[in-house]
Amino acid sequence: MTTTCARELCTKRRTGFAADRQCALHRPGPGHPERPERLESALAGLRAQPWFDELVTVAITPADRETLETVHSPRHVNRAREACESEAAYLDVPDVGVCADSFEAARLAAGAGLALAEKIIAGEIDNGFALVRPPGHHAEREMALGFCLFNNVAILARVLRSRHGLEKIAILDWDVHYGNGTAHAFERDPSVLYLSLHQYPHYPGTGAASETGEGPGLGATVNCPLPAGSGNEDYERAFRERVLPAMDRFAPDAVLLSAGFDAHRADPLGDIRLSTEFYGWMTERALEVADRHAEGRLISLLEGGYDLAALADSVGTHVATLSGVEPAK
């Protein structure tokens, strides 16, 4: 396996960075793994990097109702707002704990990718990373699920097509859990290629290789389920044999990453054995696809990752690779 930036010269890129401390105000309850400290640890790790000040800071505007409803029903948006305003303990299922600040945090998380997209389309940055929470890829049209209120990456894909005129979007999801909400959002849509590498069987129970989309979207879902104990070599094989050929055949106009870091060997919520450095390798491969087909357009959104040290290290490696600099050892 090629080490991140081990080639003779890394390509320097203008990387946008979107984060908002209000996302840390979302508190799903005592002992919940999707805790505010996730953002604090990852941000502290990034700030300690010698290249942090070279990132292009991008301000986030919360996603408005119209934007949320590109993926979610008006009923779901209303229920999310009402649950948070009434300080309900959770929305829909107990693992989606909420508080009074959760609705605004979720709107910011959904708006982060949109802010990065504006800068990329304007030519002000080459790619971008959104350090936000709550995550999004489990959220369904009518239901919050798996720590997720709104599906951030699905909303971004819809907006890139409807407002920015991009015809084909590839979503690469390497979170340890299958992104059921994203898969369902686009299962009948041939303009969005959804590719997922995930532990299987594992939460949420879907994501078999036989799930390939429906109707006009048949073949536009590529699932790479991997058994517990899989590691770098298994993921590299899946990339080379299935993920990269599918992305090259599709030739996307933009690459989106559902960047979960809970397939790390230290993470408590999964049993995959990826190293910190391998996140750099996967990032490089995604960048190469974006360079070949999408004029470098790539946007990465944080999903999972629940060991604080592993999350901080993996995010640092990921963002360094996006920027074309060597990660700090």
Q: At what angle do helices 102-121 and 74-85 cross, to 10 degrees?
A: 130
* Residues constituting the chain: 329
* Residue 177 is among the residues annotated as catalytic for this protein: no
The distance from CA 113 to its chain's CA centroid, rounded to whole angstroms, is: 10
CA distances 7 to 11, 123, 166, 223, 254, Å, are 10, 27, 32, 30, 25
Quote the radius of gyration of the chain (alpha carbons, Å). Answer: 18
- DSSP symbol at 146: T
Which pair of tokens denotes residue 149? 């209120």
Q: What is the DSSP letter of 70?
A: T
Measured distance CA(140)–CA(137) in Å, rounded:
8
**Cα–Cα–Cα angle for 74, 80, 83, rounded to 5 degrees:** 135
Angle of helix 308-323 relative to helix 37-47, nearest 10 degrees, comes to 50
Q: In sequence order, what are the residues at sequence separation of 6 or more whose Cβ sits closer than 8 angstroms to the Cβ of residue 329?
A: none
Among 21, 61, 59, 60, CA closest to 42? 21
Confirm if 311 and 305 have CB atoms less than 8 A apart. yes
Q: Map tokens 């790539």 to a residue.
A: 298
CA atoms within 13 Å, Cβ hemisphere of 275: 11
Q: Which of 26, 137, 138, 177 is catalytic?
A: 138
Instruction: Give me the active site residues, please.
Output: 138
